Amino acid sequence: MANRFTDPRPQFLDSTPGVYAGAGLFFYVTGTTTKTDTYSDAALTAENTNPVVLDSAGRLPNDVFLDPNVTYKVVLAAAGYSDPPSAA
pLDDT digits (tens, 9 = 90+) for 37-48: 999 999 999 999
Q: Is the pLDDT of residue 31 over 90?
A: yes
Alpha helices in the chain (DSSP H): none
Q: Rounded to whole angstroms, how far apart are CA atoms 31 and 28? A: 8
Residues 6+ apart with CB under 8 A from 33: 84, 88
Beta bridge partners of 52: 25
Residue-level pLDDT at 29: 96
15 or 46, which is more confident? 46
Range of weakest confidence among 2-6, 38-42, 45-49, 81-85: 2-6
Query: Could you tell me the pTM of the whole model?
Result: 0.86
Residues 6+ apart with CB under 8 A from 20: 12, 13, 14, 54, 58, 76, 78
For the stretch 52-76, pLDDT in tens is 999 999 999 999 999 999 999 999 9
